[in-house]
A and B are shown apart, each in its own frame.
Chain A
């Protein structure tokens, strides 16, 4: 089930979300976006939809469904 939709075209690889997630559901993947930033991936299984990543992300990457 998709719980947390991401738009990684906006991600700048700051890592705030990775550090904040209480379930270690976010990690850096291998995809580099058009701006040249290494972007994150969310493990939808592990996500509990707490919203912390949404809150700390400066670039509006997350939408909690």
Chain B
């Protein structure tokens, strides 16, 4: 089996920390886009957060949106460029804290864009503050004694929030371990296929290690993701799915 990273992902060293899941997510997206022949048509939006580093990795037309406005910027782009596939790429802080209104209204309207949301249970770029996705008891720079879920809420789950909405596709994958990564790629592929078929909001959340701000070595971060994070964020397809 021949395997080579797509030409649409740069061969410069990416700016991500060692073991960061954003690098895997970026490659999976580039693989799907290349396989589907969409590289020249795709328009992406990235957020003012760690995922914005894809600006220098990806060779796609990309707009850097204001923090948390990544999804709504993509929705606007799709309205003026209806023949182009459009994908928003952002983190859990962007989607579930500052951009919560955008997330909920996009689901309510079933807007015709792809959303790839990298959930590392933390604000990565700004130094590891608590996010709505932070696990109960998880220590962050703004919850140094561990998150008190009674005060700050349980980890925010998109499948619960979107339960009443009819959207094109909703799935959650993980960016550690070859089997999970293969499955995550199939989810991204399905989101792109349904998007090309104009099925509305096609949403994939990807659990992603942030070794730097979890204060864990990459292999320990992988264990934390698989053992702790998946307890709160089950993997699988929630809407529109039949991926094996």
Residues of chain A whose beta carbon lies under 8 Å from any beta carbon of chain B: 7, 9-10, 12-16, 19-20, 35, 37, 49-52, 54-60, 62-65
Contacts and interface: CB of A to CB of B under 8 A. Distances in A.
B19 A14 contact: yes
A55 B3 CA distance: 9
A64 B1 contact: yes
A58 B1 contact: no
Contacts of A10: 11, 13-14
B218 A15 contact: yes
Interface in B179-202: 181-182
Contact of B27 (A15, A51, A60, A65): A60
Contacts of B3: 51, 54-55, 62-64
B54 interface: no
B178 A52 contact: yes
Q: Lowest 3 CB-CB distances: which A-B pairs, in order?
A: A58-B23, A14-B19, A12-B18
B147 interface: no
Interface residues of B, number: 29
Given A19-B219, A56-B176, A59-B23, A14 B182 contact: no
Contacts of B20: 58
B19 A60 contact: no
B21 interface: yes
A17 to B, nearest CB: 10
- The winner among B13, B177, B222 for most chain A CB atoms within 10 A is B13
B1 A37 contact: no
Given A16-B219, A64-B4, A58 B16 contact: yes
A63 B222 CA distance: 23
A55 B182 contact: yes
Interface string B215-236: 0011100100000000000000
- The winner among B14, B18, B182, B219 for most chain A CB atoms within 10 A is B18
Contacts of B23: 57-60
Contact of B24 (A56, A62, A63): A56
A60 B21 contact: no
B2 interface: yes
12 contacts: A10-B14, A12-B13, A12-B17, A13-B18, A15-B218, A49-B1, A51-B1, A54-B5, A57-B23, A58-B23, A60-B5, A62-B3
B9 interface: yes
Interface in B10-39: 11, 13-14, 16-24, 27
Given A59-B13, A64-B2, A14 B18 contact: yes
A65 B7 CA distance: 16
Contacts of B14: 10, 58-59
